Structure 1
């Protein structure tokens, strides 16, 4: 008898919840990509903001120009994902850095921050003056740092791979 009462109470609950879920509408994002004119207007607005003004001042400063020159120096290797020879100059990042694990290195006579997704045992074996081969798809910059930031995806020392970025799962 008790089972029948429980079933009798659960049946309407199941039916009602089924109807609620069946009538749910899948909402699609309503925001559309910005047009070129809208992007240009948003950029102008940002450039007039305090952050935009500070960034423009940094770009025009000697530090900003030095960083841009460093980026330009390795742009072809970044675009082509080709080998770049680097010499480790420091095992720590600049004070106050929030980039995670990384080292400082010279590439073509310029200083760069080499940033890694995670710290691995093989990377801890690096020493100052080690010669390494790196590959990357990305170099970035930020006014906080006086060096370009290379996001390393491949590192080799003495013809042995010591770091390789894991490809994204299910991504492009």
Structure 2
């Protein structure tokens, strides 16, 4: 009986040792995976390094080109609306995005005299009812740009037509 008891205690010690050793390895992995925040100097150095790559050089050329300046000027026109998350009146100019775009579902819209790509995260059926020249009210928290497109890209988070909500961005699940 004593031999069985000693064997069980020894087995318990070995198993608990393996469990704690595995836990420490997992903790070390999680510490390694969490990147530390970059300082301003490191961020600046990384940016300068990227700007020296062919992609960075092409981006800088695009920014200085008339197309790039036009995109930045159009972004500046709606920056206050984006920052304050206020209504913007838009007129749908096209139901399709530029050829070759990989932005998902979206439409082309004119806001304050400039054309924009209005993109949505998912494809709500209510937006399928839009037609060219429809006036819609949109709100957004973000506008972006890419050298591939000659228009700023507005991320649509809210859209309504004739006081009917067509789209409202669903809140994120499981986090901030």
Q: Show CA shifts across 1:15-40 (max 9, x none).
A: 65543222221121364222111111
Aligned with 1:81 (options 65, 82, 85): 85
* Aligned twin of 2:152: 148
Instruction: Report the Cα offset of residue 105 of structure 1.
Output: 0.2
Aligned with 1:20 (options 1, 18, 43): 18
* Aligned twin of 1:115: 119
What aligned pairs does 1:57-76 form with structure 2 within 5 A after superposition?
A: 57-76=61-80
Q: Distance in 2 between matches of 1:86 and 1:72?
A: 16
Q: Per the alignment, in what secondary structure is the counterpart of residue 98 of structure 2?
A: coil
Q: Per the alignment, in what secondary structure is the counterpart of residue 51 of structure 2?
A: helix
Q: Distance in 1 between matches of 2:16 and 2:118?
A: 54
Instruction: Report the Cα offset of residue 52 of structure 1.
Output: 0.6
Q: What's the RMSD between the two structures over aligned residues? A: 1.8
Q: Per the alignment, in what secondary structure is the counterpart of residue 132 of structure 2?
A: coil
Q: Per the alignment, in what secondary structure is the counterpart of residue 77 of structure 2?
A: helix
Cα pair distance change 1:125/1:19, threshold 3 Å: same
TM-score by length of 1: 0.89
Q: Distance in 2 between matches of 1:145 and 1:18?
A: 58
Give the length in aligned residue pairs: 163
Aligned with 1:49 (options 50, 53, 70): 53
Instruction: Report the Cα offset of residue 73 of structure 1.
Output: 0.4
Aligned with 1:131 (options 128, 135, 139): 135
* Aligned twin of 2:4: none
Q: Distance in 2 between matches of 1:131 and 1:52?
A: 38
Q: Per the alignment, in what secondary structure is the counterpart of residue 94 of structure 1?
A: coil
Gaps of 5+ in 1: 1-7
